[in-house]
A and B are shown apart, each in its own frame.
Chain A
Amino acid sequence: MMTVKNKHTRILIFLVCIILGYMITMQLKSHNQYQNLAIQRAEDLTVRLKEVQADRDKLVKELDEYRAGRISGAAQKEMDDLKARAGETEMEGKGIVFTLDDSKQAAKSGENKNLYIIHDEDLLRVVNELRAAGAEAISLNGQRLIGSSEIRCVGPTVLVNERRLAAPFVISAIGNPQTLESSLKLRGGVIENFKFWGIKADVVQSDKVRIPAFKGNRTFEFAKTVSAEEKKETGQTATDSKGVADNKASGDAGKSLDQQQASQKNAGGAQ
């Protein structure tokens, strides 16, 4: 085996070996670190890429929304609110379900049969009563009643939202159930009136009344919205001239009436 002669040499060999060992370990450590670093970096970049992609998708969507003229934030909230008020959304809440069915009583001889069946006017009275009692949303046989909804007799059926409905009629209303029910059960009110003719009328209070959204379409063929600027310009004169206009209108009406009478008279004379 190798024999080392003096102390000086031993120390130098010792130092060289320390350096070698140190270098070997550092090299191995660094190598592992690079690999880890590469993996870490790849992971970091993947995460970052995903984030950026999500951001991009969001922004693209936002851009699309803006391009499509859609709105977001506070305006969106306001729009939702307005939609709900206009009956464009399905509503749910406490309220009553009022069921009406035609009378099964046979009409007494000489009596009008029409008195025993439900008419548009009966439904209108009920709806009016409910509205007066603070109903927030009303539906009639699944048809949402909005400001422009009609209730009108069409032969044996009733036309609501341009749809024909037949008895039995189910009127659902959201509001204070107690108030709604008592408004219908007033002495001399709608239910008492129905009972007299044998028309079945049931009021059921419910914690969960569901009112569907308005499904028809609304278009303004003649009406145009008045923009805020126009309002400012014409508002002053409109209020000023209102009284005058009213007078004028009634004057016109009177005149035309006179004319009509005159023409009738003329016609009579001709005959």
Chain B
Amino acid sequence: MIYAIIGLIFGIVGGVLTPGFIPKIYAPYFSVALMAGLDTAFGGLRAAMEGDYDNLVFISGFVVNILLSVFFCYAGIKMDIDFYLIVILVLGMRIFNNLAIIRRLYLKK
């Protein structure tokens, strides 16, 4: 847990120190990737609390979820369908779902 928090702080500091910003055309991809990353992180946290955390599942989930969401977003833009909304909706639901389970597990303890 402590590693996760230190990692987050490092990441935030790195982000603040990085000059420049994401070009506007990549903004939807990036927001979707961020959602996927958060989803995986909460999923991992939930799995860890349930006691069936698997490192390989977590890492592969992180990478694949991000790539898949970005691909969906890209495809949506290419086809002129707002796919990224679907991606964000699904990921957001999953995040809420995971958070609810984490909350319950935390309360049960």
Which residues of A are interface residues toward B (Cβ below 8 A)? 1-2, 4, 8-27, 29-30, 33-34, 37
Q: What is the CA–CA distance of A33 and B15 in the complex, to the nearest angstrom? A: 14
A-B complex: 4 closest residue pairs judged by Cβ atoms: A21-B11, A25-B15, A17-B7, A2-B48
Query: Total A-B residue pairs with C-beta atoms closer than 8 Å?
Result: 104
Q: Annotate B39-62 by CB proximity to A: 1 below 8 A, 0 otherwise.
A: 011001100110001010011001
A21 touches B31 (CB 8 A): no
Please judge, given known A-B contacts A2-B49, A19-B37, whether A30 and B55 are in contact too, CB under 8 Å. Answer: no
Q: Is B27 a contact partner of A34 (Cβ separation < 8 A)?
A: yes
Q: What is the number of residues of chain B that contact chain A, defined by CB distance less than 8 Å?
A: 37
Contact with A along B1-44 (1 / 0, CB 8 A): 10111111111111110100110100100110110011011001
State how many angstroms separate the Cβ of A32 from the closest Cβ of chain B.
8
B1 touches A2 (CB 8 A): yes
Q: Give me 8 A-to-B residue pairs in the complex whose CB atoms sit less than 8 angstroms apart, sorted by A's number.
A: A12-B58, A16-B59, A18-B7, A18-B11, A21-B9, A25-B15, A26-B18, A27-B22
CB distance from B50 to the nearest CB of A (A): 10
Contact check, A25 vs B11: say whether CB atoms are below 8 A apart.
yes
**Within the complex, what minimum Cβ distance (angstroms) separates A14 from chain B?**
4
A18–B10 contact, CB under 8 A? yes
Interface of A is mostly: helix
Give A134 Cβ to nearest chain B Cβ, in Å.
75
Residue of B nearest to A31 (CB): B27
- Residues 63-80 of chain B, each 1 if its beta carbon lies under 8 Å from chain A, else 0: 000000000000000000
Complex formed: what's the CA distance from A13 to B22 in Å?
25
One of A10, A14, A21, A30 near B12 (C-beta < 8 A): A21
From A9, A11, A22, name the one whose CB has the most chain B CB atoms within 10 angstroms. A22
Cα distance, A73 to B59, chains bound together (Å): 77
Asked if A22 contacts B14 (CB within 8 A), the reply is yes
Q: Which residue of B lies closest to A33 (CB)?
A: B21
> Are B41 and A17 neighbours in the complex by a CB distance under 8 Å?
yes
Once bound together, how far apart are the Cα atoms of A13 and B40, in whole Å? 11
* Contacting residue for B4 out of A13, A22, A23, CB 8 A: A13
Are A24 and B15 within 8 A (Cβ)?
Answer: yes
**Known A19-B37, A21-B14: A14·B7 in contact at CB below 8 Å:** yes
Contacts of A11 in B (CB 8 A): 3
> How many angstroms from the CA of A30 to the CA of B27 in the assembled complex?
8
Q: Give the residue of A9, A13, A15, A26 whose beta carbon is less than 8 angstroms from that of B30.
A: A26
B10 touches A21 (CB 8 A): yes
Q: How far is the CA of A54 from the CA of B52 in the complex (A)?
A: 71
**Contact call A8/B55, Cβ cutoff below 8 A:** yes
- In the bound assembly, the distance between CA atoms of A145 and B5 in angstroms comes to 97
Which chain B residues border A10 with CB–CB below 8 Å?
A: 3
Please, which residue of chain A has its CB at the minimum distance from the CB of B4? A17
Query: How distant is the Cα of A37 from the Cα of B59 in the complex, in angstroms?
Result: 36
